[in-house]
Amino acid sequence: MFTSGLQHVAAMYAGVVAPPLIVGAAVGLSGTELTFLTGASLFTAGLATFLQTLGIWKIGARLPFVNGVTFAGVAPMLAVIDTTDDKADALPVIFGAIIVAGLLGFIAAPYFSKLVRFFPPVVTGTVITLIGISLLPVAFGWAQGPNPAAKDYGSTTYLTLAAFTLVVVLVLRRFTRGFVKQIAVLIGLVIGTLVAIPFGATDFSPVTEAAVVGFPTPFHFGAPQFALAAIISMCVVMLVSMTESTADMLALGEIVERPADEKTIAAGLRADTLGSAISPLFNGFMCSAFAQNIGLVAMTRIRSRFVVACGGGFLVLMGLSPVAASLISVVPRPVLGGAGVVLFGSVAASGIQTLVKAGLEKDNNVLIVAVSLAVGIIPITAPEFYHAFPETAKIILDSGISTGCVAAVLLNLVFNHLGGRRDDDEVTAPMEPGEDISGTRGTKTAAAH
């Protein structure tokens, strides 16, 4: 439980600390204040993970879910900072908006969860696949190095370290058994970090500079302020976050063979939104389920929610002890990138497994998957595609998971529900080499192919 929980923390650490580092730098915080803000995000991520895995009352999906700071809120928070005259007021304004958005999301959770009936396998499989595909660029970015502006970004040294870590994980998964096989990713991260030392890619300064004990004092940056424009922006982010969390719960439900029903999704969304509402009290940001940890569950097949709760305990301890938090930050980004290829690729593979059950012998379902995947990968393959749209709209459009999910739901309604079902149309069978295209559709021979 200890090592498996730590493995979950290692898989999601970079994603948790990146938003506070970006936002804190935009506000102009000192190094000490940045460390404080990062520790607060770890602490609140642990609290949100407890809510999600252990649950209280009707709060928490009670699935092996890790919660942390959602990246969907970074761009809107930067916009709030840019429009705030006094930068000292920026964080209180952001925290106030998150509190309101979290409380409204908590109220809306049971109604939002009723959308689960619009998520049959053809939709969930598409969304799960998109989650994995959308996360892979994150791993590729990590593999190239810690600083995109640096001259050595994408150097052969960094890429070799990433490839080496990937090979170590694959070898451990192939040639070991039991406990060692289950913690292959963690072992790969440790070995990769040690190998990176001679190349100067491992930085131990965070450990030497961090304090042993530190508590995220409530309202450290000032009492929350409530600005209408910021609240509206964060409410939009909350809707995006709830959509992605719903998709994540459906994905994890398939992986652990406990399909997420309406009740489970409502409880999970309550945990997300309540965690987000509580987070600003301790100087944290909006929380959401972390898709990268779904890949870890899929790969290790350790399905216990108590293992993930143990990971939440580590996050809380890291938030209370900056020096402990800094230990994970020692792992070089390229090493994380190599392990991320396995983790995020496993999510996409789980989606493909779900699509196999979705009835892709039907033309309708093939079209749903084809168009939804195309819409979902637009932000990945053409990042500037929506550059002419308003910033508020781009919050949603730049999330391939959200746009692909909406497209899949709408197309499923159009093709399989509205105007009568037509799912008896079989997909055209592949042709044998040299076979004429005429007469192949609907024939017994074609069906056999």
Q: What is the pLDDT of residues 153-193, one digit of tens each?
A: 989 999 999 999 999 999 998 898 766 776 777 788 889 99
- Return the structure tokens found at 415: 């093709």
**Residue 442, pLDDT above cutoff 70:** no
How many angstroms from the chain centroid is the CA of residue 136? 11
Cβ-proximal residues to 384 (8 Å cutoff; 6+ apart), any chain? none
* d(C-alpha 104, C-alpha 380), whole Å: 31
- The pLDDT confidence band at residue 432, using thresholds 50, 70 and 90, is very low
Most confident of 22-31, 163-172, 210-219, 226-235: 163-172
How many angstroms from the chain centroid is the CA of residue 295? 10
- Please report the pLDDT score of residue 24 as a whole number: 81
**Residue 44, pLDDT above cutoff 70:** yes
* d(C-alpha 191, C-alpha 193), whole Å: 5
- Please report the pLDDT score of residue 425 as a whole number: 52
* d(C-alpha 414, C-alpha 416), whole Å: 6
| Higher per-residue confidence, 257 vs 313 | 313
What pTM, to 2 d.p., does this model score?
0.66
Are 72 and 403 in contact, with CB atoms under 8 Å apart? Answer: no
* d(C-alpha 162, C-alpha 331), whole Å: 12
Strand 67-69 with 287-289, pairing: antiparallel
**Residue 330, pLDDT above cutoff 80:** no
What single letter denotes the amino acid at residue 113? S
- Please report the pLDDT score of residue 431 as a whole number: 40
| Higher per-residue confidence, 349 vs 370 | 370
* d(C-alpha 35, C-alpha 210), whole Å: 8
* d(C-alpha 33, C-alpha 77), whole Å: 18
- Please report the pLDDT score of residue 75 as a whole number: 65
- The pLDDT confidence band at residue 38, using thresholds 50, 70 and 90, is confident
* d(C-alpha 239, C-alpha 98), whole Å: 12
Most confident of 170-174, 300-304, 308-312: 170-174
- Please report the pLDDT score of residue 328 as a whole number: 63
* d(C-alpha 387, C-alpha 195), whole Å: 41
| Rg from Cα positions in the chain | 22
Closest CA to 298 of 248, 237, 246: 248
**Residue 312, pLDDT above cutoff 60:** yes
Pick from 270-274, 315-319, 437-441: least confident: 437-441
Closest CA to 272 of 247, 296, 289, 284: 289
Mean of the per-residue pLDDT values of the chain: 80
What 3-state class would DSSP assign to 281? Answer: helix
**Host H or E run for residue 175:** helix 156-175
Specify the residue for token string 């402990």.
324
- Return the structure tokens found at 110: 């049971």
For helices 305-320 and 322-329, the axis angle rounded to 10 degrees is 120
- Return the structure tokens found at 210: 């961090």
**Residue 100, pLDDT above cutoff 50:** yes
Most confident of 7-11, 183-187, 193-197, 222-226: 193-197
- The pLDDT confidence band at residue 292, using thresholds 50, 70 and 90, is low
* d(C-alpha 322, C-alpha 73), whole Å: 24
- Please report the pLDDT score of residue 144 as a whole number: 92
